[in-house]
Structure formats: C-alpha cells, structure tokens
Amino acid sequence: MTICGAATSNCYNTTSNVLVFISSSLSSPAKTKFLPSLSRFSVRHSCFFAQTRPRIGFNKPSMNLFSRLGFGGARAQENTDSSIPQGPDDDIPAPGQQFAQFGAGCFWGVELAFQRIPGVSKTEVGYTQGSVDNPTYEDVCSGTTNHSEVVRIHYDPKACGYENLLDLFWARHDPTTLNRQGGDVGTQYRSGIYYYTPEQEKAARESLEQQQKQTNRKIVTEILPAKKFYRAEKYHQQYLEKGGRFGFRQSAAKGCNDPIRCYG
C-alpha cells in the first residue's frame, strides 16, 4: 500500500504481493504493464482538491526490466551523441500560452491531474533530460538513456498562475524518494521541475524551499532548464482519459476531483 499525504505530509510505501503479468508479445503496449493484486490499495490526499479517497495502486516496470528481457537499450546504445537531446526545448507555445514541464513519476496519472486544472489548455506526455535522440518507451525503460517521464503543460498565465501548477506538482507525488514513486522504480520516475523562463526558475526554487520547511526528509527534486521534449507514443497521450488498460475512462473535466486510478 502506498499512503501519500499532501505536500505538507510524508508518503510511505508498503507495497507487497504484487503480481506481475508480462505479455509474450510487446505488440500491444497495454499488455506490457504490471497488474497488481486487487487486494492492495493506496490512498492519496491532494491538497489541491482537498479530498481523500481510496484508489487501487498499480506498478509500472522498473527501469531495467526491458533491458533484462532483451528489449530496448540496443538502439539507445547506438546513439551516444547527446548534443541534440541536451539542447533546449525550442518548441513554441500558442499565442497567449506558456509551457511548463514536470516529472513526478508515471506520467499517466500526473497528466490527468494537470488536465483538470482550469487555465490548462493542453497537456502532452513525453521524455526529456536524456542522452538519446528520439527515444522510444522501451529505450527509456531500459534505464540506459537517463530520460525522465514528464508532462508538458500548455497554460494561460492569465487564467492559471505558475504557482498553481507548482502546488499540484508537490501534492501529486513524494519529492523525497530518489528515482522512485511507490512501486515505480527507475531514473525515469525522478522528481523534476524543468523551467522555461527565469521567472519559473525563481518560483520553483522558492517553492522548493517552502516545501522543505514542511518536511523532515530531504527533497530530491531536480530543478533544471527545460531540454528537448520528445512526445511519447500516441497511446500514452491522455491515457487515463481514454480508458487506460481496462477501458475505464476517467474524467479530465476542469475542477474534477474524482480519484485518479493511475493505471486505469
């Protein structure tokens, strides 16, 4: 069981007895996920929506699983030129919009949480901060590329302040666990704020300082300039809104506070 509090609380992981099912074929992306025992639950309290409800906890593959099984990694090892992926995110948001980028564990649940914020016009999940150009999901899960799973947010600063996004970021995950969120283990699950402007950097660092004062454990969130963003495969986009693994659609309506089932 993973019990997570709001940003002012601590998160503890007591997950056990997780059943793992791996498809004999990787042709269907959803079949590569982990299916947990339904007898285990996790509870999350979001200070953004100020509500506590139970939800089923799920685990994704650890970063080296694909590598151990012989998938991914090979292509990643072929491309060691990091000049392209280490360049800045030079995409341009729509007029009147700004970008924000966060890594807070598995990007499915994180994306849905940000989709629900008024003032957010669009969300995309993808990979960044790694050493390989145009990585695949299997490359990232191999643990050899150092990419982070992130959500890139398009938002209207007049309708949604950057501080509101930071509030949800802290509430959504445990920033004190290095390269891990619950049962999801690997560098792609690390906590990170990737800023686009000096103003965002300043707000992020001040926010981290405030959060650190509210916990007795060291926050390991990295704060770095936004680098080239690689949009994840189509099936990852709005994954939970579209139904996730089991076809259970979850609402992305603005202000919705339904519990988020992170793996569908």
Nearest to 195 by CA among 206, 182, 204, 186: 204
User: Catalytic residue at 4?
Assistant: no
Number of H helices, E strands in the chain: 6, 12
Kindly tell me if the per-residue pLDDT of 40 is higher than 70.
no
**Residues 102, 49: Cα–Cα separation, whole Å:** 19
Kindly tell me if the per-residue pLDDT of 5 is higher than 50.
no
Per-residue model confidence as pLDDT tens digits over 43-55: 333 333 333 333 3
Kindly tell me if the per-residue pLDDT of 109 is higher than 70.
yes
Residue found by looking up tokens 């986009």 in the block: 237
Number of CB atoms found within 10 A of residue 78's CB: 8
pLDDT at 119: 98
Structure tokens given for 187: 């560098």
List domains and CATH numbers for the chain. 62-236 (3.30.1060.10)
**Residues 241, 179: Cα–Cα separation, whole Å:** 26
Q: Which of 4, 11, 106, 141 is catalytic?
A: 106
**Average pLDDT of the chain to the nearest whole number:** 79
pLDDT at 78: 54
Number of CB atoms found within 10 A of residue 111's CB: 29
Residues 6+ apart with CB under 8 A from 136: 72, 75, 233
Lowest mean pLDDT among 72-81, 100-109, 191-200, 247-256: 72-81
Per-residue model confidence as pLDDT tens digits over 59-71: 565 545 444 444 4
Kindly tell me if the per-residue pLDDT of 20 is higher than 60.
no
pLDDT at 263: 79
